[in-house]
Chain A
Amino acid sequence: MKALVFERSLPRYAAARVASSWVPGGGARVGPLRLAQEEDPALPGPEWRRVSPILAGICGSDLSTVDGRSSRYFEPIVSFPFVPGHEVVGRLIGGPDDGARVVLEPVLGCAARGLEPPCAGCASGSTGACERVAFGHIKPGLQTGFCADTGGGWSTSLVAHPSQLHPVPDGLGDDHAVVVEPAACAVHAALASGDVEGATVAVVGAGTLGLLVVAALRHFCLPGAIIAAAKHPHQRRLATELGADHVVEPAGLARAVRRHTRAMAVGDGLSGGADVVLDCVGSADSIAEALAVVRPRGRVVMVGMPGVTRVDLTPLWHRETQLVGAYAYGVETPPGRPGPVRTFELAFELVQEADLGRLVSARYPLDRYADAIAHAGAAGRRGAVKVVFDLQHESRRPTWRTAS
Chain B
Amino acid sequence: MSPRPGFVLEVDRSTPATLMWHGEGYRLERLPTGARVVYPPEPLEPLADPRGAIRHVLENPVDSAPLSALLRPGMRLTIAFDDVSLPLPPMRRPDIRQQIIEAVLDAAAAAGVDDVVLVAALALHRRMTEPELRHALGNRVYDSFAPHGLLTQHDAEDPDNLIHLGVTDAGEDVELNKRAATSDLLVYVNINLVAMDGGHKSVATGLASYRSLRHHHNVRTMLHSRSFMDQHRSELHSSNWRMGRLIAESGVKVFQIETTVNTDTFPEQFSFLSKREWEWSARDRVGFLATSSALARTPDRVRRQIFHSMRSPIGLTSVQAGEVEAVHALTTENVYRQQLVEVDGQSDVLTMGLPYICPYNVNSIMNPILVMCLGLGYFFNLYRGRPLVRQGGVLIMSHPTPWAFDPVFHPSYIDFFEQVLAETTDPLEIEAKYEQSFATDPWYIHLYRTGHAYHGVHPFYMWYWGAHALDHLGRVIVVGGDPAAVRRLGFKSASSMADALEMAEDVVGRDPSITHLHAPPLLMADVR
Do A and B come from the same complex?
A: yes
> Which residues of chain A have a CB within 8 Å of any CB of chain B?
246, 248-249, 252, 255-256, 258-259, 262-265
> A255-B414, A256-B419 given. 16 additional CB < 8 A pairs?
A248-B418, A248-B419, A248-B422, A252-B418, A255-B415, A255-B418, A255-B419, A256-B415, A256-B418, A259-B437, A259-B443, A262-B437, A263-B443, A264-B443, A264-B446, A265-B443
Our pick among B418, B419, B422, B442 for the contact of A262 (Cβ within 8 Å) is B442
Nearest chain B residue, comparing its CB with the CB of A259: B415
Answer yes or no: B441 CB below 8 A from chain A CBs.
Answer: yes
Name the distance in Å between B189's Cβ and chain A's nearest Cβ.
36
Interface residues on B, range: 10 to 19
Q: Please indicate the chain B residues that have their CB under 8 angstroms from the CB of A264 in the complex.
A: 442-443, 446
Q: Please indicate the chain B residues that have their CB under 8 angstroms from the CB of A255 in the complex.
A: 414-415, 418-419
Bound-complex Cα distance A259 to B442 (A): 9
Name the distance in Å between B497's Cβ and chain A's nearest Cβ.
30
**Sample (13) of A-B pairs whose CB atoms are under 8 Å apart:** A246-B419, A248-B418, A252-B418, A256-B415, A258-B443, A259-B419, A259-B437, A259-B438, A259-B443, A262-B442, A264-B442, A264-B443, A264-B446
Verify A249–B418 contact, CB threshold 8 A: yes
Bound-complex Cα distance A264 to B444 (A): 9
Bound-complex Cα distance A255 to B446 (A): 15
Bound-complex Cα distance A109 to B433 (A): 51
Verify A262–B441 contact, CB threshold 8 A: yes
Contact mask for chain B residues 384-422; partner A; CB cutoff 8 A; 1 contact, 0 none: 000000000000000000000000000000110011001
Nearest chain A residue, comparing its CB with the CB of B446: A264
Q: Please indicate the chain B residues that have their CB under 8 angstroms from the CB of A265 in the complex.
A: 443
Q: Please indicate the chain A residues that have their CB under 8 angstroms from the CB of B415 in the complex.
A: 255-256, 259
Classify the interface of chain A: helix, strand, loop or mixed. mixed
Q: Please indicate the chain A residues that have their CB under 8 angstroms from the CB of B414 in the complex.
A: 255
Bound-complex Cα distance A248 to B422 (A): 9
Bound-complex Cα distance A264 to B422 (A): 23
Nearest chain A residue, comparing its CB with the CB of B416: A259
- 8 Å CB interface, B404-460 against A: 414-415, 418-419, 422, 437-438, 441-443, 446
Name the distance in Å between B424's Cβ and chain A's nearest Cβ.
13
Bound-complex Cα distance A155 to B390 (A): 67
Name the distance in Å between A282's Cβ and chain B's nearest Cβ.
25
Q: Please indicate the chain B residues that have their CB under 8 angstroms from the CB of A259 in the complex.
A: 415, 419, 437-438, 441, 443
Name the distance in Å between B418's Cβ and chain A's nearest Cβ.
5
Bound-complex Cα distance A53 to B439 (A): 57
Name the distance in Å between B374's Cβ and chain A's nearest Cβ.
25
Across the A-B interface, the 6 shortest Cβ-Cβ residue pairs: A252-B418, A264-B443, A259-B415, A255-B415, A262-B442, A256-B419
Nearest chain A residue, comparing its CB with the CB of B456: A259
Bound-complex Cα distance A268 to B241 (A): 45
Bound-complex Cα distance A256 to B418 (A): 9
Q: Please indicate the chain B residues that have their CB under 8 angstroms from the CB of A262 in the complex.
A: 437, 441-443
Bound-complex Cα distance A187 to B527 (A): 64
Nearest chain B residue, comparing its CB with the CB of A249: B418
Nearest chain A residue, comparing its CB with the CB of B420: A259
Name the distance in Å between A369's Cβ and chain B's nearest Cβ.
36
Bound-complex Cα distance A258 to B437 (A): 12
Bound-complex Cα distance A212 to B414 (A): 29
Bound-complex Cα distance A256 to B423 (A): 13
Bound-complex Cα distance A263 to B441 (A): 9
Contact mask for chain B residues 61-72; partner A; CB cutoff 8 A; 1 contact, 0 none: 000000000000
Q: Please indicate the chain B residues that have their CB under 8 angstroms from the CB of A246 in the complex.
A: 419
Bound-complex Cα distance A259 to B441 (A): 7
Nearest chain B residue, comparing its CB with the CB of A227: B419
Bound-complex Cα distance A259 to B414 (A): 11
Q: Please indicate the chain A residues that have their CB under 8 angstroms from the CB of B443 in the complex.
A: 258-259, 262-265
Name the distance in Å between A114's Cβ and chain B's nearest Cβ.
55
Bound-complex Cα distance A393 to B265 (A): 76
Bound-complex Cα distance A161 to B304 (A): 69
Bound-complex Cα distance A264 to B451 (A): 14
Bound-complex Cα distance A226 to B422 (A): 17
Nearest chain A residue, comparing its CB with the CB of B442: A262
Bound-complex Cα distance A263 to B444 (A): 10
Name the distance in Å between A184's Cβ and chain B's nearest Cβ.
32
Name the distance in Å between A145's Cβ and chain B's nearest Cβ.
39
Residue of B438, B442, B443 with most chain A CB atoms under a 10 A cut-off: B443
Q: Please indicate the chain A residues that have their CB under 8 angstroms from the CB of B446 in the complex.
A: 264
Name the distance in Å between B343's Cβ and chain A's nearest Cβ.
43
Name the distance in Å between B200's Cβ and chain A's nearest Cβ.
34
Nearest chain A residue, comparing its CB with the CB of B418: A252
Q: Please indicate the chain A residues that have their CB under 8 angstroms from the CB of B438 in the complex.
A: 259
Q: Please indicate the chain A residues that have their CB under 8 angstroms from the CB of B442 in the complex.
A: 262, 264
Bound-complex Cα distance A252 to B488 (A): 15
Verify A252–B441 contact, CB threshold 8 A: no
Q: Please indicate the chain A residues that have their CB under 8 angstroms from the CB of B441 in the complex.
A: 259, 262
Name the distance in Å between A9's Cβ and chain B's nearest Cβ.
45
Bound-complex Cα distance A246 to B418 (A): 11
Q: Please indicate the chain B residues that have their CB under 8 angstroms from the CB of A252 in the complex.
A: 418-419
Name the distance in Å between A267's Cβ and chain B's nearest Cβ.
13
Name the distance in Å between B164's Cβ and chain A's nearest Cβ.
25
Bound-complex Cα distance A268 to B82 (A): 35
Nearest chain B residue, comparing its CB with the CB of A252: B418
Name the distance in Å between A227's Cβ and chain B's nearest Cβ.
10
Name the distance in Å between B170's Cβ and chain A's nearest Cβ.
32
Bound-complex Cα distance A265 to B437 (A): 16
Bound-complex Cα distance A18 to B481 (A): 40
Name the distance in Å between A385's Cβ and chain B's nearest Cβ.
21
Name the distance in Å between B4's Cβ and chain A's nearest Cβ.
51
Residue of A255, A258, A259, A264 with most chain B CB atoms under a 10 A cut-off: A259
Bound-complex Cα distance A262 to B419 (A): 15
Bound-complex Cα distance A22 to B418 (A): 31
Name the distance in Å between A20's Cβ and chain B's nearest Cβ.
30
Name the distance in Å between B3's Cβ and chain A's nearest Cβ.
49
Bound-complex Cα distance A246 to B443 (A): 19
Nearest chain B residue, comparing its CB with the CB of A258: B443
Q: Please indicate the chain B residues that have their CB under 8 angstroms from the CB of A263 in the complex.
A: 443
Nearest chain B residue, comparing its CB with the CB of A263: B443
Bound-complex Cα distance A207 to B422 (A): 21
Name the distance in Å between B33's Cβ and chain A's nearest Cβ.
42
Residue of B414, B418, B437 with most chain A CB atoms under a 10 A cut-off: B418
Bound-complex Cα distance A258 to B442 (A): 10
Name the distance in Å between B409's Cβ and chain A's nearest Cβ.
15
Residue of B419, B422, B442, B446 with most chain A CB atoms under a 10 A cut-off: B419
Bound-complex Cα distance A249 to B437 (A): 21
Bound-complex Cα distance A248 to B414 (A): 12
Nearest chain B residue, comparing its CB with the CB of A251: B418
Bound-complex Cα distance A249 to B422 (A): 10
Bound-complex Cα distance A265 to B451 (A): 13
Bound-complex Cα distance A262 to B415 (A): 13
Name the distance in Å between B434's Cβ and chain A's nearest Cβ.
10
Bound-complex Cα distance A78 to B37 (A): 77
Name the distance in Å between A234's Cβ and chain B's nearest Cβ.
15
Bound-complex Cα distance A246 to B422 (A): 10
Bound-complex Cα distance A246 to B433 (A): 13
Bound-complex Cα distance A255 to B419 (A): 9
- 8 Å CB interface, B98-118 against A: none
Bound-complex Cα distance A179 to B517 (A): 58
Nearest chain A residue, comparing its CB with the CB of B437: A259
